[in-house]
């Protein structure tokens, strides 16, 4: 979501005549787009920001802005703590980047924006084949560990015509894949609900792949599973964050489902969409998590056999429900549980990837591989990363023969 917010800010600046600088030293405007989901991201930003003090001293004309969730959370305090910052810009007010470009004087832009869902902002996208598309903003769920409802405000859905218009434009530019963005896409509602929106997007000529993040398990409906089974463009991959395998912890997290509810949905999904890849998010060391709770998560990973997980050590966020809970889990225990979950998942992922060896997979080419610039990289419909040899255009859909399965990727050659 933040990557796409950055694309929108760059799009607005481009429409004002600006272009991306080679380095921050050559820039007229520097914008930090910040994340406060965990403390580590926030600390990293604060130390980067400190480094720009001397740059501002040598070049007082450069405008420095802080956007995103840390900006929203710290607000005007940032301006007094770091006087070299000129603007503070919350995630609901991206369009005000225009004011920075137009030489407005220092201010903070943090108000609730009731018109957010009606805005159509240009985006400067770097990739040629796949694009992010916002379908809704904010979140109403208040999971007790999470800062998002406080920084991104209440849920607002974009009108379906506006979304479809943007996607038709992307198809005309040659994009083949879109990923729909929202904190809880399953509660999307405008003139249609989320399965209805998918039905409309599926009809857009030229868009061969549709993905979406993130789905909240409590709202993951049978109607959505039907839509995924029936609509040809919807990719065979779902990211469905479980967070914990313990019902006691899920309740404390205010997730509003039990492990059994979750598992029943996964089994139905696997029955209706054979071969679907499933990934998840897990938090290790939520307040009061016992060895028994943690073992429930271990059992869940073994039972569901995800294609991959994103696991995090619980990080208390100021002002959230969990931050004031008793029963902090010691840092070394959190770390130990996290590492064991990651190791367990690695062994599961490698087992799940092995059957791909010898098959031919449709891959959307993303460009040079990150691990080896001599090779290309892309993704299967099931969202597996494939590094491969042979010639292909960025943004093309091609067939790749899979020669080897690894833990975090597949390896192959153009078929």
* CB contact set of 81 (below 8 Å; sequence gap of 6+): 74
User: What residues are paired with 107 via a beta bridge?
Assistant: 87
Closest approach, Cβ 6 to ligand SAM, in A, equals 16
Position 184 contacts ligand SF4 (CB under 6 A): yes
User: What residues are paired with 181 via a beta bridge?
Assistant: 134, 213
Position 146 contacts ligand SAM (CB under 6 A): yes
Closer to ligand SAM at the Cβ: 6 or 183? 183
User: What residues are paired with 279 via a beta bridge?
Assistant: 239, 308
Query: Which residue of 137, 306, 312, 356 would you call a contact of ligand SAM, by CB under 6 A?
Result: 312
Reported as type and span, the H/E element at residue 165 is helix 160-172
Strands 360-368, 397-405: pairing kind = antiparallel
Query: Which residue of 33, 72, 108, 183 would you call a contact of ligand SF4, by CB under 6 A?
Result: 183
Query: Which residue of 143, 170, 225, 249 would you call a contact of ligand SF4, by CB under 6 A?
Result: 143
- Mapped onto helix, strand or coil, the DSSP state of residue 47 is helix
Q: Which does 304 bind (CB under 5 to 8 A by kind): ligand SF4, ligand SAM, none?
A: none
Query: Which residue of 16, 142, 399, 413 would you call a contact of ligand SF4, by CB under 6 A?
Result: 142
Q: Are 164 and 340 in contact (CB under 8 A)?
A: no
Query: Which residue of 219, 251, 261, 281 would you call a contact of ligand SAM, by CB under 6 A?
Result: 281
What is the pattern of x (binds ligand SAM, CB under 6 A) and - over residues 326-365? ----------------------------------------
Closest approach, Cβ 278 to ligand SF4, in A, equals 17
Of 237, 161, 213, 307, nearest to 4 (Cα)? 213
Closest approach, Cβ 323 to ligand SF4, in A, equals 14
Cα torsion 128, 363, 230, 188 to 10°: value is -40
Closer to ligand SAM at the Cβ: 62 or 278? 278
Position 257 contacts ligand SAM (CB under 6 A): no
Strands 136-137, 156-157: pairing kind = antiparallel
Q: Which does 312 bind (CB under 5 to 8 A by kind): ligand SAM, ligand SF4, none?
A: ligand SAM
Q: Which residue has the tokens 């950055």?
A: 6
- Burial string for 305-336 (b: 16+ CB within 10 Å, else e) reads ebbbbebbbbbebeebbbeeeeeebeeebbee
Cα torsion 121, 127, 131, 134 to 10°: value is -40
Position 241 contacts ligand SAM (CB under 6 A): yes
Q: Which residue stretch of 16-24, 45-53, 140-148, 374-382 sits at the interface with ligand SAM (rule: CB under 6 A)? A: 140-148
Q: Which does 37 bind (CB under 5 to 8 A by kind): ligand SF4, ligand SAM, none?
A: ligand SAM
Position 317 contacts ligand SAM (CB under 6 A): yes
Position 409 contacts ligand SF4 (CB under 6 A): no
Q: Which residue stretch of 141-149, 154-162, 341-349, 395-403 sits at the interface with ligand SAM (rule: CB under 6 A)? A: 141-149
Q: Which residue has the tokens 């703590």?
A: 81
User: What residues are paired with 180 via a beta bridge?
Assistant: 133, 212
- Mapped onto helix, strand or coil, the DSSP state of residue 217 is helix
Closest approach, Cβ 211 to ligand SF4, in A, equals 17
Alpha-carbon distance of 59 to 228, in angstroms, equals 53
Report the sign of the C-alpha dihedral through residues 283, 235, 375, 348, in that order. Answer: positive
- Give contact residues for ligand SAM (rule: CB under 6 A): 37-38, 145-146, 148, 183-184, 214, 216, 241, 243, 281, 283, 312, 314-315, 317
- Give contact residues for ligand SF4 (rule: CB under 6 A): 139, 141-143, 146, 148-149, 183-184, 216
């Amino acid at each position: 979501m933040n990557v796409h917010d950055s694309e929108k800010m760059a799009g607005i600046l481009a429409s004002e005549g600006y272009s991306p600088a080679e380095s921050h030293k050559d820039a007229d405007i520097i914008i930090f787009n910040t994340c406060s989901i965990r403390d580590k991201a926030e600390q990293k930003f604060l130390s980067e920001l400190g480094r720009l003090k001397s740059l501002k001293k040598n070049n007082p004309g450069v405008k420095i802005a802080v956007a995103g969730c840390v900006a929203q959370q710290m607000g005007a305090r940032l301006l007094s703590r770091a006087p070299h910052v000129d603007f503070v810009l919350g995630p609901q007010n991206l369009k005000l980047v225009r004011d920075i470009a137009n030489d407005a004087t220092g201010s903070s832009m943090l108000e609730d924006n009731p018109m957010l869902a009606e805005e159509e902002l240009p985006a400067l996208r770097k990739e040629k084949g796949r694009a992010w598309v916002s379908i809704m903003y904010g979140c109403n769920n208040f999971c007790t560990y999470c800062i998002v409802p406080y920084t991104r405000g209440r849920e607002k859905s974009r009108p379906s015509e506006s979304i479809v218009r943007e996607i038709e434009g992307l198809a005309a530019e040659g994009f083949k894949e879109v990923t729909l963005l929202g904190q809880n896409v399953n509660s999307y509602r405008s003139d249609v609900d989320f399965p209805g929106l998918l039905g409309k997007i599926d009809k857009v000529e030229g868009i061969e792949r549709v993905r979406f993040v993130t789905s909240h398990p409590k709202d993951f409906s049978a109607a959505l599973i039907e839509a995924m089974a029936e609509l040809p463009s919807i990719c065979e991959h779902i990211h469905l964050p479980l967070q914990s395998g313990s019902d006691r912890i899920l309740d404390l997290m205010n997730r509003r489902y039990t492990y059994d509810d979750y598992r029943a949905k996964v089994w139905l999904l696997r029955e209706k969409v054979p071969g679907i890849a499933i990934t998840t998010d897990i938090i290790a060391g939520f307040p009061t998590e016992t060895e028994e709770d943690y073992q429930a998560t271990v059992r869940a990973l073994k039972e569901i056999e995800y294609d991959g997980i994103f696991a995090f050590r619980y990080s208390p966020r100021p002002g959230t429900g969990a931050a004031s809970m008793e029963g902090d889990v010691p840092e070394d225990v959190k770390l130990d549980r996290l590492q064991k979950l990651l190791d367990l998942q690695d062994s599961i992922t490698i087992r799940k990837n092995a059957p791909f060896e010898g098959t031919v997979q449709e891959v959307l080419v993303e460009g040079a591989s990150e691990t080896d610039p001599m090779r290309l990289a892309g993704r299967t419909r099931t969202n597996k990363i494939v590094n491969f040899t042979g010639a292909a255009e960025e943004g093309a859909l091609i067939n790749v023969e899979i020669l080897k399965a690894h833990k975090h990727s597949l390896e192959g050659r153009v078929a």
